[in-house]
Amino acid sequence: MGLTEWTLVSRTRYALVWGTINVVVVFGLMLLSGYVTVQRLLLFGIPIALLSCLAQAFIWYPRAKKKLTAETG
């Protein structure tokens, strides 16, 4: 079972895994560029992480699940 199948077992797992990956990549790049400080990262990071997880759960999960079932179906 690959990462895609493992994360598609539940909407929550999918949202947490891919939402966290997206947030870490974006904020990591912003920190490296000097655009944000650690305080701003903590202040805005939590709401942005929640929004990212919600978007992954309600927008991208159904699309990914449909694509996986169409490929294996």
CA distance 70 to 48: 32
- Which backbone phi and psi does 16 adopt, to 5 degrees? -65, -45
pLDDT value for 22: 87
pTM: 0.70
For residues 64 and 14, the answer to whether their CB atoms sit within 8 Å is: yes
Contacts 24+ apart (CB under 8 A), 5-12: 5/68, 8/61, 8/64, 8/65, 8/68, 11/57, 11/61, 12/57
Q: What is d(CA 19, CA 54) in angstroms, rounded to the nearest whole number?
A: 8
The residue ranges of every structural domain in the chain are 11-72
**Segments in the chain below pLDDT 70:** 1, 73
